[in-house]
Amino acid sequence: SQQGEEDPQALSIQEGENATMNCSYKTSINNLQWYRQNSGRGLVHLILIRSNEREKHSGRLRVTLDTSKKSSSLLITASRAADTASYFCATAPADYTDKLIFGTGTRLQVFP
Amino acid sequence: GAGVSQTPSNKVTEKGKYVELRCDPISGHTALYWYRQSLGQGPEFLIYFQGTGAADDSGLPNDRFFAVRPEGSVSTLKIQRTERGDSAVYLCASSLGTSGGETQYFGPGTRLLVL
């Protein structure tokens, strides 16, 4: 079963604009990871944020985590057409199992 | 190779047939995972191996699904008596396996279509 939901389900923006995607989850976590998926195939790991961290940056990506609200957000700044993809959050549950539980994903379309 | 590889890329089979999907993890990664992704959904966990043993198989939907990793490297996901509802992309991932909650690296997936 899915851990939670992502919002919005779909997002369309122009190149140069910022894109924000939100993720909510249900259970306590060890960490939360964001992945990108092109054309419904392999997932590319973007960033991992641990439960004791509140914010993390990687290039044009900024991730926040609010464990009290069980939510995270992914911000992509200065978007490019190449950022067009589906984005998924995935949580590693705090019960020390190593499986990831994925959200439903946000489909991002960046127009040139 | 440098990444996780999966074969075949695509598999078309008929209802009731048996299929095997193969995953070759990143060299040195002791942890291996199988996920299944239906159209428009996020991946769903199936099974996790640490070395040769299945540490968590709670995601396998029923006893038609089975996976092995006999030498702690390559893994095979086996599906017996396939059903149309088994159609999905089957994703494999691996990680170092030295501590919990590590980054998982995914392969390109096998797209299974059951007619």
Q: Specify the pLDDT at position A1.
A: 47
Interchain CB distance below 8 Å, A104 and B31: no
Which chain B residues are Cβ-neighbours of A44 within 8 angstroms? 106
Interchain CB distance below 8 Å, A43 and B91: yes
Return all residues near B75 (Cβ < 8 A) that are at least 6 apart.
B22, B23, B25, B32, B34, B49, B67, B68, B69, B92
A-B contacts (CB, under 8 Å)? 72
Dihedral sign for Cα A112, A55, A103, B55, please: positive
Which residues, in sequence order, are bridge partners of residue B35? B45, B91
Other C-beta atoms lying within 10 Å of the C-beta of residue A37: 22
The two tokens of residue B100 are 């919990």
Distance separating alpha carbons of residues B114 and B86, to the nearest angstrom: 7
Nearest CA distance, A93 vs chain B (angstrom)? 8
Q: Percent of chain B beyond pLDDT 90?
A: 85
Interchain CB distance below 8 Å, B42 and A42: no
Q: Specify the pLDDT at position A102.
A: 93
Interchain CB distance below 8 Å, B42 and A104: yes
Whether residue B60 has pLDDT greater than 90: yes
Which residue from A30, A99, A105 is facing B45, i.e. has the nearest CB? A99
Which chain B residues are Cβ-neighbours of A25 within 8 angstroms? none
Mean pLDDT by runs of 10 across the 112 residues of chain A is: 75 97 92 89 91 96 96 97 95 82 94 94
Distance separating alpha carbons of residues B106 and A36, to the nearest angstrom: 11
Would an 8 Å CB–CB cutoff place B92 in contact with chain A? no
Q: For residue B109, with 0-12 CB atoms within 10 Å meaning exposed, 13-18 middle and 19 or more buried, which class applies?
A: buried
Q: Specify the pLDDT at position A108.
A: 96
Per-residue model confidence as pLDDT tens digits over B82-113: 999 999 999 999 998 877 678 899 999 999 99
Distance separating alpha carbons of residues B44 and B66, to the nearest angstrom: 16
Interchain CB distance below 8 Å, B107 and A98: no
Which chain B residues are Cβ-neighbours of A30 within 8 angstroms? 100-101
Please give the biggest Cα pair distance in chain A: 44
Do strands B10-13 and B110-114 pair parallel, antiparallel, or not at all (unpaired)?
Answer: parallel
